[in-house]
Amino acid sequence: MKRIAIGQAGGPTAVINTSLAGFVENLPEDVQLYTVENGYEGLAESKLQRADEKRIEEILAARYDSGAFLGSGRYEFTEDKIIQAVKNLKAFGIDSLAFIGGNGTMAALEKMEEEARAEGMSLQVIGIPKTVDNDLGMTDHAPGFGSAARYAAYSVRDISRDLRSMRNFERVRILETMGRNAGWLAAAAGALVEEEACILCLPEQPVSLRSMTDEVGERLKGQETLVVVVSEGVEWDGESQISQATIGGRVVLGGAAARLQEALSARLGIFVRSENLGMNQRALSLAVSDTDRREAYLVGEKAARLLAEGVSRKMVCIERKPDIRYNVHIGSCDLQKVKDAGERIMPQEFIQDRQRFYEWLRPLI
Amino acid sequence: MKRIAIGQAGGPTAVINTSLAGFVENLPEDVQLYTVENGYEGLAESKLQRADEKRIEEILAARYDSGAFLGSGRYEFTEDKIIQAVKNLKAFGIDSLAFIGGNGTMAALEKMEEEARAEGMSLQVIGIPKTVDNDLGMTDHAPGFGSAARYAAYSVRDISRDLRSMRNFERVRILETMGRNAGWLAAAAGALVEEEACILCLPEQPVSLRSMTDEVGERLKGQETLVVVVSEGVEWDGESQISQATIGGRVVLGGAAARLQEALSARLGIFVRSENLGMNQRALSLAVSDTDRREAYLVGEKAARLLAEGVSRKMVCIERKPDIRYNVHIGSCDLQKVKDAGERIMPQEFIQDRQRFYEWLRPLI
C-alpha cells in the first residue's frame, strides 16, 4: 500500500487546516497516510505518525481551526538536515510527500526529491501553496492571503472610522502589517477606504522618515484624520528592516510603525498611536474570506489528485481566468519554476494604480 | 415642537451607531431632532445641528458602521464648560438631551440637568449606556462590551492555536486588552480556551513581575505553550499604571504587556512576543456579537420612549432575568444611582470562579 506523508511548514494562516482537510479527504482509498509533526523538524527528526481513522477524524474536525493542526514552526532546514530527512522518509517507507507551505517549502521539496533520487529512491513530492504574505510566484495568489487581507482591510476601515470620530483627540494612527519583503498585505489594508484616507508604506518603494512626516503634516492641513499603513518590511531611509529578534537564523520583523510614530510625534508634536495588526492577520477566524476558505480546500484536494495521478515536483497553483466574473482554475506548475520566480513582490502596475490592484483583490476578500 | 438633542461621547464601540439608529428611529413624529458634534465639545462650543430628513437618513445608513457617527472624542468637560453647555442648549431651545456614553457621560448629564434647573430651565436628560470596558454600574452589562469581548475571546483562542503550532519557535505570547481599571475585557479574553491555556492579569488583583515570571516559568515545565492576557490597567508591583500619553487630563493607558514581555525575556531568556489587541477591540465590525447589536438598538429605542414619556434623569439599563435561557428586560435607573455605583470592577465571585463568569458572559459574545 502506497505511503503518503503530509506536513505543514512556516507561519500558519487562518485556512491552512482547510487545505489539510482538502488533501486528506480526497486521497485514494488504498493509501496509508502519515503526518509530519512540526514541519521540517518532524522530517529531520523523524517525527512521523501513522494516521489511523481516529487521527483522520481529528484532522477533518480541525478544518476551520486557526494554527497549523499538525504543528508547523520554524526550523533551519540545512543541507545535512535535508539528507537526514530523506533517510527518515525512506525508513518509514514513504512513497509520496505533500507539504503545505511557502517559498522555503517549495525549495525544500525540490531538494528532497533530488536527494532521494541521488540515493536511488523514488520520492514523489507535491507542494500546496500557503502564505499570508502572498510572496509566492507562479500562482495568482496563495491561500491564506485573502483572509489576512480581509482582516487588514476591515481593520483599517473600521479603525479609520473610529479615528474620525475621535478627531478632537487624535488625528493620526499608524498600523503595521505583515508581508515580509512584499507589500501585498499593506496595500490590501487600504482596500475599503477612500484613497486619501490612508497612506501606504510598502517595502517595494523607498521611504524616508523625513518625507513621510512631511507628507503627513501636509495632509493634515487639508483633512482631519489620516491612517498610515506601514508594512513590517519597509526600510526607513534605506537602512535595514527593523526586527524584534533573530531566532535560529530567522528574522522576526516588527517595529517599523513604532519608528514612524516616534518620528511623527517628535516632528509634529502631536499624539500619534501606532499599532501592530499582529498575529490576528494570520489567525483570526472571524475574518476568514469565503473565497479563501474555498480555495484553500481546493488546493489541498488538487494535491491529493496529483499524487494519485503520479505527478511529481509540482506545486498546486491558482490560475485566474480572464472572465468578467471571478473565475479560477486550480492547476499545477513546476517546483523549479516557483523557485526561479523567487520572492514575489507587488508589480509596479499595482503600486502605481491602486484601484487596479483593488479590482484584482476584491474577489479574494 | 419639542426639540431633542442627541450626542455620543468617549471611546466609540462597534455598535454605538446602532444605539443612535435605535434612538432616532423611535422618536415620536412631532419632535425636531438636533445632533451634537464631537460629544461634550459640541455641547460646550455650540456645535449643534438641526437634523433634516437627509441627515436622519445618513444616521440610519451608518447603523452598522464603527466609530461614533456624530463625532465623539475626548474633552475636559469642566464646571465652566458645563455651564456654557446649558446656555448653548437654552439658546437652541433644546427641551431634551440624550447622550450615548459611559460613567463620565452619566455624571455630566446629571450635572447639566441640575445646572439647567438652577437657571430656571427645564432640561430632560436620558443616558444611553455604552462602554467596551463594562465599567458602568446599574446595568447587567453595557452595549459595546459584548462585541469587544467577542473579539478578545476569539483573538486569544485563535492566537493560542497559532502559537501551539509554532511551539518549536515560540512558547509564550502576551496580549494586552483594554478595560481601564476593570478586568472585564481581559477576563473575557480567556472565554474560549481551556483554563490552563492562559493566565489572566486583571487590575482587580495585585500582580508582580517577579511572581508572574515565576509562574510562567513554572507552567512552561508542564505545558508547551502559554498565553498571558494583561489588562492595560494592571499596576505591576503596585506601581502606577503604564500610560502612552496624557492629553487634556486624559491618561491613555498602554504598555503593561510590553513591560511583562521585557521581564519574561530577561528572566527566562526566551523569545516572547507581546501584542496589543488594540483599537479593533472597539472597532472591528467583523467581530460584532449579535446579542450586542440587538441590545445596542434596544437601549437607543428605550431612550426615545423614555423621552416621549416625559421621564428624566435616568439611564437606560439592561436587566438580566433569572431564566434558563438568556433573557433581558430593557429598563431604566436613576442617573444618581449610576454615579453612586462608581466605576464597576469585576466582582470577586467572577474573579475566583472563571467558569461562573464565562456562563454569565457566553450569551453576550
So what's the pLDDT on residue B72? Answer: 96
CB contact under 8 A, B275 and A273: no
Q: What is the CA radius of gyration of chain B?
A: 22
| Same-domain pairing of B91 and B51 | yes
Q: How far apart are CA A107 and CA A76, in angstroms?
A: 13
**In the prediction, which pLDDT does B233 show?**
97
Please judge whether B169 and A275 are an interchain contact, meaning their C-beta atoms are less than 8 angstroms apart: no
Q: Helix (H, G, I), strand (E, B), or coil: what is residue A242? A: coil
The single residue listed with the C-alpha cell 509554532 is: B166
Same-domain pairing of A165 and A261: yes
Cβ A154–B67 below 8 Å, yes or no?
Answer: no
C-beta pairs of B216-222 under 8 Å, 24+ apart in sequence: B216/B172, B216/B264, B216/B268, B217/B267, B217/B268, B220/B171, B220/B172, B220/B268
- How does residue A97 score in pLDDT terms, banded at 50, 70 and 90? very high
pLDDT for the residue B323: 85
Q: How far is CA B72 from CA A40, B123, B326, in A?
A: 51, 21, 32
How many CB atoms within 10 Å of residue A30?
8
Distance of CA A176 to the CA centre of its chain: 16
Looking at residue A248, its pLDDT comes to 74
Residue A165 is nearest to which of B72, B150, B159, comparing CB atoms? B72
> B71 and A167 in contact by Cβ < 8 A?
yes
Q: Which three cell numbers stand for residue A256?
A: 517599523
For every residue of A36-72, DSSP letters joined together read: ETTTHHHHHTT-EEE--HHHHHHHHHTTT-SS-TT--
Residues A91 and A76 in one domain: yes
Q: How far is CA A317 from CA A27, A62, A126, in A?
A: 18, 23, 11
Annotated catalytic residue: which of A95, A133, A135, A292? A133
Angstrom distances, CA of residue A141 to CA of A98, A200, A302, A344, A364? 19, 20, 16, 10, 9
Measured CA to CA, the distance from residue B117 to residue B114 in angstroms comes to 5
Contacts B35 to A, Cβ<8 Å:
none
Give the helix/strand (H/E) hosting A299: helix A290-308
Which grid coordinates are listed for A290? Answer: 469565503
Contact list in A for residue B65 (CB cut-off 8 A) is: 161
Closest CA in chain A for residue B40: A168
For residues B293 and B15, the answer to whether their CB atoms sit within 8 Å is: yes
In a domain, A351, yes or no: no
Separation CA A341–CA A319 (nearest Å): 16
Amino acid at B103: N
User: Residue B164 is part of a domain; what is its CATH number?
Assistant: 3.40.50.460
The identity of residue B28, as a single letter, is P
Tell me: do B240 and B292 sit in the same domain.
Answer: no
Residue recorded with cell 480581509: A150
Residue A201 lies inside a defined structural domain of this protein: yes
Flag if B151 and A286 touch (Cβ within 8 Å): yes
Per-residue pLDDT at A324? 85
Q: Is residue A362 part of a domain?
A: no
Verify that B174 and B233 share a domain, yes or no.
Answer: yes
Q: Does residue A358 form part of some domain?
A: no
Taking contacts as CB-CB distances below 8 angstroms, the residues of chain A near B164 are: 67, 71
Residue range of the domain that includes A161 = 149-286
Average pLDDT, consecutive stretches of 10 residues, N- to C-terminus, chain B (365 residues): 97 98 96 98 98 98 98 94 98 98 97 96 97 98 98 98 96 97 98 96 96 97 97 96 86 95 95 96 98 98 98 98 93 97 96 96 97
**Reported confidence tier of residue A246, pLDDT bands at 50, 70, 90:** confident
How many angstroms from the chain centroid is the CA of residue B113? 24
pLDDT in tens, A263-297: 999 999 999 999 999 999 999 999 999 999 999 99
For residue A240, the distance in angstroms to the closest alpha carbon of chain B comes to 21
Structural contact between residues A343 and A102, judged by C-beta atoms closer than 8 angstroms: no
Number of C-beta neighbours around residue A252 at 10 A: 16
Burial group, residue A292, by CB count within 10 angstroms (0-12, 13-18, 19+): buried
CA distance B64 to A177: 25
Are residues B154 and B280 part of one domain? yes
What the block records as the C-alpha cell of A272 is 500619534
Mutate to test the interface with B, among A162, A172, A178, A271 (most CBs of B within 10 A): A162
Co-location of A93 and A70 in the same domain: yes
Q: What are phi and psi of A208, to 5 degrees?
A: -125, 145
Position B111 scores a pLDDT of 97
Over 90: is that where the pLDDT of A330 sits?
Answer: yes
**Residues A229, A133 share a domain:** no
Residues of chain B by 3-state class (helix, strand, coil), percent to 5: 45, 20, 35
ipTM of the shown complex: 0.97
Helical residues (DSSP H) of B245-347, grouped into ranges: 256-268, 280-283, 290-309, 335-341
- Distance separating alpha carbons of residues A76 and A20, to the nearest angstrom: 23
In the prediction, which pLDDT does B246 show? 87
Does residue B170 sit in the same domain as residue B130? no
Total domains present in chain A: 2
Nearest to A43 by CA among A35, A55, A54, A53: A35
Answer yes or no: do B25 and B125 share one domain: yes
Residue A363 placed within a domain:
no
Closest Cα in chain B, distance from residue A189 (Å): 14
Tell me the C-alpha distance between B27 and B35, whole Å. Answer: 14
Residue from A206, A197, A139 nearest A172 by CA: A197
H or E, element range at B60:
helix B53-61
One-letter amino acid of A305: R
What number is the average pLDDT over the span A209-220?
97
Q: What pLDDT score does A195 carry?
A: 92
What cell numbers appear for B54 in the block? Answer: 437627509
For residue B365, being part of any structural domain is answered with no
Distance between CA atoms of B303 and B295, rounded to whole angstroms?
A: 12
Query: Within a domain: residue A311?
Result: yes
pLDDT tens-digit readout, A132-156: 999 999 999 999 999 999 999 999 9
User: Quick one: closest CA in B to A160, which residue?
Assistant: B67
Q: What is the distance between the alpha carbons of residues A352 and A329, in angstroms, rounded to a whole number?
A: 28
- DSSP-derived 3-state class of residue B326: coil
Q: How many CB pairs under 8 A join A and B?
A: 169
Exposed, middle or buried by CB within 10 Å (0-12, 13-18, 19+), for B151? buried
Looking at the fold, whether A103 and A79 belong to one and the same domain comes out as yes
Domain boundary at B241, B258, B286, which? B286
Cβ contact, residue pair B283, A162, below 8 Å: yes
Best mutation target among B18, B150, B165, B276 (most A Cβ atoms within 10 Å) is B165
Residue A210 lies in a domain: yes
Place of cell 502589517: A177
Q: Are residues B157 and B197 in the same domain?
A: yes
Write down the pLDDT at residue A67.
Answer: 98
Quote the distance between the C-alpha of residue A279 and its chain's center.
12
List the CATH number of the domain containing B42. 3.40.50.450
| B133 is annotated as an active-site residue | yes
Q: Which of B66, B172, B232 should we substitute to test contact with A (largest number of A Cβ atoms within 10 Å)?
A: B66
Residue A323 confidence (pLDDT): 85
Q: Give A245's strand partners.
A: A252
Extract the C-alpha cell encoding B279: 483599537
How distant is the alpha carbon of residue A330 from its chain centre? 18
Asked whether the beta carbons of A128 and A144 are under 8 A apart, the reply is no
pLDDT score, position B49: 97
A209: pLDDT strictly greater than 90: yes
Q: Which three cell numbers stand for residue A188?
A: 490590501
pLDDT mean over A112-125: 96
